[in-house]
């Protein structure tokens, strides 16, 4: 009996894994909606307590506010962002050509056994992009991707509305499958995980918005850099990728600046990105993510000094970058350990119940 139950449990888990793998193409909208629900659910809870209105009304109000904000941002920045994306897709080969020409001084370079000038390289890139995107088949694929993005966006908003309204009900439904003697402990652990993960995600979202806005303002007003809005948004999004993301964003900005103003502008952009990173790591991260996951500023100082002793400047950067994430993971790990303890106690109680049933059955059979 116990063996059969264990096999059934693993079969259910395997079936769930297979189902998620088959449905992986439709999961991103639900994942995005889940993250947004984590960020917004404390707002809904607080407004529900203060106003005394039903959760459905409060959730719909918060959802409407989110839709208005997103629509307003799309109306204000959508046209410029679309124009910048079209321009950079059209002028990308020219930017690379200008960079190569300034780096080589107009001399030909050897690439894969062929001698190419900067103009030849730019022309070949332009022809390759036109061949790749200019065919009817590719045009149909672009239209298909556009429809999928629109449908995905609609699904994100619909899922977000349902999650904000029925999130607690769904949790209470799942809680029904937990034995009554363990429900209070499981509910406590789930609330703790939800609180810590929600704080961490809100901190990360705030950092993305802050870095996107500050970077755009600096690139737009200080450097007059082309595609400043696109580069600023990309910089904020790449913040979620440790080390590689900020370096990639800085390299893109420096490449565009090098094509526009030469080495001096590229150097100024590199210094600006370095300063912004230090301000974020030394001031913003301890205040935002540190408070969210309860990491004291002294831990930040200790992490920086220890990282410098271990690996020099690179160690300092890595230590500063990962301390907030480490604090969040430690808090989540503590919650998961408690949850695993509760699950272990629940499993032991099930095993004892099955053993008692088996002994009773043997007595009846005898």
- Partners of 115 in beta bridges: 110
User: What are the boundaries of each domain within the chain?
Assistant: 24-166, 184-355
How far apart are alpha carbons 323 and 109 in whole angstroms? 44
- CA gap 266, 250 in Å, rounded: 10
Cα dihedral: 312, 317, 321, 324 (round 10): 50
pLDDT digit of tens for each residue in the chain (366 aa)? Answer: 444 455 666 776 788 788 878 887 788 899 899 889 888 988 898 899 999 999 999 999 999 999 999 898 888 888 888 888 888 877 877 777 777 777 777 676 666 667 666 666 666 666 666 665 555 566 577 677 778 888 888 999 999 999 999 888 887 777 777 778 877 887 877 777 777 777 777 878 888 899 999 999 999 999 999 999 999 999 999 987 877 888 999 999 999 999 888 899 999 999 999 999 888 877 777 666 656 555 555 665 566 556 656 665 455 545 555 544 444 445 444 544 444 454 455 455 544 544 554 555 555 555
Q: Residue 311: its pLDDT value, please?
A: 61
* Spatial distance between the Cα atoms of 109 and 129, rounded to a whole number of angstroms: 21
Rounded CA-CA distance 244/229 in Å is: 21
Confidence (pTM): 0.69
**Burial class for 24, CB neighbours closer than 10 Å (0-12, 13-18, 19+):** exposed
**Three-state secondary structure of the chain:** CHHHHHHHHHHHHHHHHHHHHHCHHHHHHHHHHHHHHHHHHHHHHHHHHHHCCCHHHHHHHHHHHHHHHHHHHHHHHHHHHHHHHHHHHHHHHHHHHHHHHHHHCCCCEEECCEEECHHHHHHHHHHHHHHHHCCHHHHHHHHHHHHHHHHHHHHHHHHHHHHHHHHHHHHHHHHCCCCHHHHHHHHHHHHHHHHHHHHHHHHHHHHHHHHHHHHHHHHHHHCCCCCHHHHHHHHHHHHHCCCHHHHHHHHHHHHHHHHHHCHHHHHHHHHHHHHHHHHHHHHHHHHCHHHHCCCCHHHHHHHHHHHHHHHHHHHHHHHHHHHHHHHHHHHHHHHHHHHHHHHHHHHHHHHHHHHHHHHHHHHHHC
Q: Taking the alpha carbons of 125, 129, 130, 132 in that order, is the dihedral positive or negative?
A: positive
Determine contact, residues 129/93, Cβ cutoff 8 Å.
yes
């Amino acid at each position: 009996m116990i063996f059969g139950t264990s096999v059934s449990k693993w079969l259910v888990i395997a079936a769930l894994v297979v189902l998620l793998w088959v449905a992986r193409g439709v999961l991103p909208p639900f994942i995005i909606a889940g993250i947004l629900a984590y960020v917004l659910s404390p707002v809904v809870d607080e407004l529900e307590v203060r106003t005394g209105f039903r959760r459905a009304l409060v959730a719909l109000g918060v959802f409407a506010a989110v839709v208005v904000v997103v629509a307003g941002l799309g109306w204000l920045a959508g046209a410029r962002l679309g124009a910048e994306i079209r321009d950079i897709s059209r002028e990308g080969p020219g930017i690379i050509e200008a960079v190569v020409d300034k780096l080589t001084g107009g001399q030909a370079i050897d690439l894969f056994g062929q001698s190419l000038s900067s103009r030849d390289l730019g022309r070949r890139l332009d022809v390759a992009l036109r061949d790749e995107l200019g065919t009817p088949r590719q045009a149909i694929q672009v239209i298909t991707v556009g429809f999928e993005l629109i449908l995905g966006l609609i699904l994100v908003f619909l899922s977000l509305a349902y999650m904000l309204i029925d999130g607690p009900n769904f949790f209470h439904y799942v809680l029904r499958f937990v034995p009554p003697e363990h429900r209070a402990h499981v509910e406590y652990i789930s609330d703790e995980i939800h609180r810590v993960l929600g704080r961490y995600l809100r901190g990360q979202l705030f950092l993305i918005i802050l870095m996107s806005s500050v970077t755009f303002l600096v690139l737009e007003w200080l450097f007059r850099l082309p595609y400043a809005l696109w580069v600023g948004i990309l910089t904020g999004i790449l913040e979620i990728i440790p080390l590689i993301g900020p370096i990639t964003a800085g390299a893109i900005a420096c490449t565009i600046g090098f094509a526009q103003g030469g080495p001096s502008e590229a150097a100024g952009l590199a210094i600006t990105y370095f300063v912004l990173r230090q301000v974020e790591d030394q001031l913003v991260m301890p205040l935002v993510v540190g408070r969210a996951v309860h990491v004291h500023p002294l831990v930040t100082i200790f992490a920086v000094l220890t990282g410098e002793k271990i690996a020099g400047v690179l160690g300092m950067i890595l230590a500063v970058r990962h301390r907030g994430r480490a604090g969040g993971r430690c808090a989540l790990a503590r919650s998961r350990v408690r949850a695993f303890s509760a699950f272990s106690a629940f499993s032991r109680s099930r095993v004892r119940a099955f053993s008692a049933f088996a002994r009773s059955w043997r007595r009846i059979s005898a």
